[in-house]
Amino acid sequence: MPGVTHHCFGCAPNNRQGLRLRFQENKDGSVECLFRMPRRFEGPPGHLHGGIIATILDEAMGKVNRKKGIVALTRRMSIDYLQPVPLRVKLSAVGWPVKVEGRKHFHAGEIRTLDGDVLARSEGLFIAIDPIEMFRKYGERVSGHAKTQSIRTAKLKG
């Protein structure tokens, strides 16, 4: 988005050492991203690190919040590693909303082959906060530059 200079490891276009994931919205209410991961994110030989799998699923579920127009922070996440996730192969990450209880938003996510095989699955609990709370929580120990980003992001997402 023009004017936004966030540096998110998962999705910032200008963080060249990050994953640079780009999600689109599907008609069924889910969000989806096609990706192909390079070797620097290796865990077991030839395959993605479990932490990067978690990162992709956190992003997929987090983007559901954005689609819903809320600012929310990950409170809990669980990941089932069902099959090894190969490097250098085009795969899909999908996230969708499951239920809402007050400020608690429960989402789910999957990493799939393009044939639809599920390689990893996640559940996440996200707590909706208002942008001022976001600023208070994350603004205290960071630089003025980052504070500006925080406000901008909150305004855009909130």
Catalytic residues: 58
Nearest distance, CB of residue 136 and a second copy, angstroms: 11
Per CB under 8 A, residues contacting a second copy are: 6-10, 15, 17-18, 39-47, 49-52, 54-59, 62, 73-81, 84, 86, 89, 134, 137-139, 141-143, 146-147, 149-150, 153
Asked if 124 contacts 89 with a C-beta cutoff of 8 angstroms, the reply is: no
Nearest distance, CB of residue 79 and a second copy, angstroms: 5
Q: Which is nearer to a second copy, 27 or 115 (CB)?
A: 115
Q: Is the dihedral of CA 122, 128, 130, 134 positive or negative?
A: negative
Q: Which is nearer to a second copy, 28 or 94 (CB)?
A: 94
Q: Which is nearer to a second copy, 92 or 133 (CB)?
A: 133
Nearest distance, CB of residue 27 and a second copy, angstroms: 27
Nearest distance, CB of residue 32 and a second copy, angstroms: 18
Q: Which is nearer to a second copy, 54 or 100 (CB)?
A: 54
Q: Is the dihedral of CA 122, 114, 23, 31 positive or negative?
A: negative
d(CA 37, CA 32): 16
